[in-house]
Structure 1
Amino acid sequence: MANALMRLFRRGPRWERVAGPRATAVLGKTPGQVYREQPALRAVVGFLARNVAATPIKVYERRGDNDRPRDVASQLALLLTRPNASVTTYELVRATVSDILIYGWALWYVVPNADMESGWEATRVPPEWVTQPYTKDGFEPSSWLLQVPQAGRAPVRIQAADCVRFALYDPSDPISPASPVEALKLVLAEQISAYDYRNKVWRNGGLVNRWISRDREASWSPGARERFAKDWKERFSGADATDTGGTPLLEDGMQLHDAQLNARDAEWAQATTLAREDVAAVYGVNPSMVWHNDTQTYASARDNARALYAETLTPYFDLIQERVNHQLMDLLGMDATRHYAEFDLQSKLQASPEDLLPTLVSATGRPVLLTDEARAILNRPALGGAAAELATPLNLLLGDEMAQATDAGAPGEASRAAPAKSKGWSAKSHQRADAAGAALLTSTLTRFWDRQSKKVLPAIDSAKSRGRLAKADGDPDWWDAERWDRELSADLRPIMLELTRHSGRATLRDVGMDPDGYDSDRTVSYLKAMCDGRAKALNASMLRQLLASLDVDPEEADEDVAKDSPRGVYDKAKSSGAARAGLTLATTAAVWGCKEAIGQRVPASEFERRKTWVHAGSGEANPRDEHLAMDGETVGYDEPFSNGAHWPHDDSLTAEDTYGCQCEVEISIYRR
């Protein structure tokens, strides 16, 4: 629209005019001076500015309609977290809202700064520093002329392209928005005059609270008058008065008069109340939010608090966040379709959990907090187990959940729950390697072999220089088997414990049992021994490859490996060996966790338990013929398979039988 109109009015290819600043003085006082001196204006402006600034503004990434994770690493997020080296976000927003309410507009000067984490800094420009705005089209400023009073230098001109401008409305001039103070000129002028008059009354009026009169006809000698005056001063005035606050006894014909001026007679209190209401009305604030009155109740205070965020503050939230999402985002060179800033009103609602939680429960029809989350609010330690899962009453369960609860018993039940009540009921569970767990094991092995190579390779070079590479009966001098076995086992243990726990809990869920029934504490000793064995096998394989690469005994060394250098052995292990070993270990954890869960929670006295060997098929590189032949072989839970193993990756199998193996097991249970 602006461009279409300017085609009608433009006279040349480029032109610029000065837009004169709007005068908003009240009895010669600038809006800033009025704000400093008038309590009603300052109370309302401060109230609004503090509440807007106290609501955090956050940045989110738009990934989908229902996927909006919080963004804390983009330039916009970092800039809003720390606008510049000396001002916090709260201070910047509070000053910005105050400028908007006092002057009708506010300005941020945004420039690159390599010292800031975001690479930018945003600084508030006080409106009183702006001496002249410039425009090229009459619709928006193109630059501003600034005069910093404390600098004592010539004015500086800044471009609008480097600024973010927040502005209210003016019916005739889009360049100079109308200040709300303009609508309050008469009210504030009256208050300024009233305060000035009141001060003059107190300053110029007689400083007498009470005075005494006496009839003209009454006789009173000079001596009697002096004695009365002396007696009055001694008894009722001064620091040494003896009867201060008492009732004086006057002589015949005397009267005591009150000369104090009261606010009711001058109607100052009523005028002050009306001024407050006018100021609040211009800014759209309920006066009872700012000034307490005798008719206010707890219920009305709660209603006012709701109205504050629903009606009063929302326009200022929208004004600021829309300017940030458009003008500031463009200035930073960010994609406004992927990121956006928004004031977090939810954080203000959370200050009143008695309102928020019932609303959420009513909206979802279910509890919304875990037991451990509720304990965290009270600064109590987490319990884990059933306390880390959402407890839902039976009457709120839906569909399959109700069926499982009916068959398995209440969630969190300590005793072993039967998966079904009727005879002949059956269930199966087949756990596969966890992809995230395999990746974690791969990275763990990669880091371990990288750490090991930094010790072993220099030791090998040192041994070469001393001529001590010949094979001995035991391990070579440059190899510390005890250390490497201990360290690798310690690295693997917590990961294997968590993966087996995950598999065990998933197995119990598959067969309709409470997953909290899986006791990982019972598995710690066995898993330690398992990790010790796996670590020893992996390190022994590494040592054999290193010895072969040194060509110590060409007759015993593998021909392909013997051609590699020790460094090449480690590079191969980190590039491909770690991934293969990590997947093998993850499969081992999944299979053993499944088997262990059935052994713990499904008693042989009540169920017939069977297991089936499942070959990995095309997913395994170089599948073993003997394992492929066993695919589908089913035996009793406590019986070994045809190869003598009780489960794939059993310790009874050799390293050659387990390394790279991805075979799995399927457990079946039948109710007797």
Structure 2
Amino acid sequence: MWPFSKQEKRIATSDPFLGEFLGARWQGRADIEKASGHAVAHRCISVIAENLASVPLKVYRKTADGGREAATDHPLYAVLHDQASATLTAFEAREWLLASALTYGNGYAKIERNGRGQVTGLSPLVAGSVTVEKLTTGRLRYKYAKSDGGTETLLQDDVLHVRYRTKDGILGMSPIQIASAAFGLALAQQDQAGAAAENAFRPAGALVFPDKLAAGTGPGSKENVITKFKERFLGQLKANEVMVLDGGAKFETFQFSSKDSEFLESRKLSNLDICRVYGVPPSVAGITDDATYSNIGEESRALVMRCLAPWAKRVEMAMTIQLLSPEARKTLFIEHDLAGLMRGDLTARYSAYRIGREGGWLNVNTIRGFENLSNIGPDGETYVQPLNMGLVGANDNRAKVEDQQ
């Protein structure tokens, strides 16, 4: 239609970074970098990343009897357990990968291989510097913007990609962007608290003059009075300044405190919302208002079962697919050992060991291994069996008694 020769074209995208760049607006918008620096959000990210990075992540080999054994001779074992790259330990690399996925929804690491195609190193990449493309073949291609200004192109087999929830199977979504309203409210409250602290938590007020002030910006004008008042009395370091008002001026405060507006309670609810987003129990994130001696232990176990276990499985599946070939996956698999996080106190552990020992499925050397103690030799490999348990008829002496009669 004249005078417009072209029709408007719209592009639908779920990429939050592209939406922010093009000026998209939505309610409760939250900046990822700023939101991840929120105290509760930072603690939730650290708890998940540090705990999962601290537990053993091993390559196991399936045995003929249906069991497993640690594949310590495989090159990937040392990468996941000891040193991931020339500059990063396995803990640091795994923590980086998890923190990136928890913050941006995507964690990337460049895969280094030897001449036989076996993985010999993992180098994490900065999430914001990686773009992902889907080729016509259905496979993915990654472009990494280096710090020196260059660009490196990597194929799907060269990148370990850990995603959070995804809509298109290509990019994961950031938890912060998914729950942007909750994070936006928490950040707004944090900014408001900072502004109140800057003014020493004094309520705002009004300067009341009996006569009309002069116009313009000169001496005695409204703008001039406001400017000089702010310079003299507003700010945390000027909280104890003596205020002298002449010419019939009065200062009337607006008595609207944080308690009246339930501001502190509202901030607590926002902190709980952030814990809900990441699935971290409040006491684990440092919110101990309702914590007791008994429920802290239950919340610690809930952290492992409801939060860490799903993230562990997410990482395990990504590593199994990207780091092991289809042929190797027939005999090898990757798995976290979360048993250490489920261990109770000394009394609870020893009670469990006693049950296992007396039940006949644990021996002394296995129990000592759980406690990081050396074995005691062949004597520790024996198993016991309760006297009232055994094969049916194995201890039946009736036949011998009848023969003697």
Specify the TM-score bucket, using the shorter chain as the normaliser: 0.5 to 0.7
Does structure 2 conserve the Cα–Cα contact (< 8 Å) formed by 1:113 and 1:121?
no
Residue 159 of structure 1 is matched in structure 2 by 155
> Structure 2: 5+ residue runs without aligned partners?
1-12, 21-25, 204-252, 398-403
CA distance in 2, matches of 1:201, 1:276: 19
CA distance in 1, matches of 2:332, 2:32: 37
Q: Deviations over 1:181-202 (max 9, x none)?
A: 1133223223323332333333
Does structure 2 conserve the Cα–Cα contact (< 8 Å) formed by 1:366 and 1:392?
yes
1:170 to 2:171 alignment: no
Task: Decide whether aligned partners of structure 1 residues 365 and 386 sit closer, same or farther in structure 2, where only a CA change above 3 A counts.
Answer: closer
CA distance in 2, matches of 1:68, 1:133: 37
For 2:108, give the aligned amino acid.
Answer: L
Task: Decide whether aligned partners of structure 1 residues 124 and 381 sit closer, same or farther in structure 2, where only a CA change above 3 A counts.
Answer: closer
Residue 46 of structure 1 is matched in structure 2 by 46
- Aligned match for 1:281, one of 276, 284, 287: 276
- Higher relative contact order, structure no. (Cα contacts within 8 Å, ≥ 6 residues apart): 2
Q: Deviations over 1:418-475 (max 9, x none)?
A: xxxxxx9xxxxxxxxxxxxxxxxxxxxxxxxxxxxxxxxxxxxxxxxxxxxxxxxxxx
Residue 288 of structure 2 is matched in structure 1 by 293
Task: Decide whether aligned partners of structure 1 residues 377 and 78 sit closer, same or farther in structure 2, where only a CA change above 3 A counts.
Answer: closer
Task: Decide whether aligned partners of structure 1 residues 283 and 137 sit closer, same or farther in structure 2, where only a CA change above 3 A counts.
Answer: farther
Residue 341 of structure 1 is matched in structure 2 by 334
> Structure 1: 5+ residue runs without aligned partners?
1-18, 209-257, 405-423, 425-672
Task: Decide whether aligned partners of structure 1 residues 180 and 137 sit closer, same or farther in structure 2, where only a CA change above 3 A counts.
Answer: farther
Residue 176 of structure 2 is matched in structure 1 by 181
Q: Deviations over 1:192-217 (max 9, x none)?
A: 23332333333346879xxxxxxxxx
Residue 207 of structure 2 is matched in structure 1 by none
Does structure 2 conserve the Cα–Cα contact (< 8 Å) formed by 1:105 and 1:165?
yes
Q: Deviations over 1:612-656 (max 9, x none)?
A: xxxxxxxxxxxxxxxxxxxxxxxxxxxxxxxxxxxxxxxxxxxxx
Which structure is larger by alpha-carbon Rg, 1 or 2?
A: 1
1:67 to 2:29 alignment: no
Does structure 1 conserve the Cα–Cα contact (< 8 Å) formed by 2:79 and 2:122?
yes
Residue 89 of structure 1 is matched in structure 2 by 90
Residue 134 of structure 2 is matched in structure 1 by 135
**1:304, CA displacement in angstroms?**
1.9
Q: C-alpha root-mean-square deviation of aligned residues, in Å? A: 4.1
Equivalenced residue count is: 329
Q: Secondary structure at the match of 2:288?
A: coil
Task: Decide whether aligned partners of structure 1 residues 396 and 263 sit closer, same or farther in structure 2, where only a CA change above 3 A counts.
Answer: farther
Task: Decide whether aligned partners of structure 1 residues 144 and 309 sit closer, same or farther in structure 2, where only a CA change above 3 A counts.
Answer: same
**1:391, CA displacement in angstroms?**
4.8
CA distance in 1, matches of 2:309, 2:373: 36
- Aligned match for 1:264, one of 259, 262, 278: 259
CA distance in 1, matches of 2:32, 2:274: 14
Larger helix percent = 1
Task: Decide whether aligned partners of structure 1 residues 378 and 304 sit closer, same or farther in structure 2, where only a CA change above 3 A counts.
Answer: closer
Task: Decide whether aligned partners of structure 1 residues 291 and 139 sit closer, same or farther in structure 2, where only a CA change above 3 A counts.
Answer: farther
Task: Decide whether aligned partners of structure 1 residues 375 and 311 sit closer, same or farther in structure 2, where only a CA change above 3 A counts.
Answer: closer
CA distance in 2, matches of 1:133, 1:380: 48
CA distance in 1, matches of 2:382, 2:313: 38
Residue 110 of structure 2 is matched in structure 1 by 109
Q: Deviations over 1:210-242 (max 9, x none)?
A: xxxxxxxxxxxxxxxxxxxxxxxxxxxxxxxxx
CA distance in 2, matches of 1:160, 1:42: 31
Q: What does residue range 499-578 of structure 1 map to in structure 2 within 5 Å?
A: none
1:77 to 2:77 alignment: yes
CA distance in 1, matches of 2:292, 2:163: 36
- Aligned match for 2:142, one of 141, 144, 148: 144
Does structure 2 conserve the Cα–Cα contact (< 8 Å) formed by 1:139 and 1:175?
no
Q: Secondary structure at the match of 2:59?
A: strand
Structure 1-normalised TM-score? 0.42
**1:368, CA displacement in angstroms?**
5.1
Q: Secondary structure at the match of 1:264?
A: coil
Does structure 2 conserve the Cα–Cα contact (< 8 Å) formed by 1:325 and 1:336?
yes
Query: What fraction of aligned residue pairs are identical, expressed as a percent?
Result: 18
**1:53, CA displacement in angstroms?**
1.6
- Aligned match for 1:309, one of 301, 304, 312: 304
CA distance in 1, matches of 2:52, 2:351: 26
CA distance in 1, matches of 2:132, 2:394: 67
**1:328, CA displacement in angstroms?**
1.4
For 1:77, give the aligned amino acid.
Answer: Y
For 1:304, give the aligned amino acid.
Answer: E
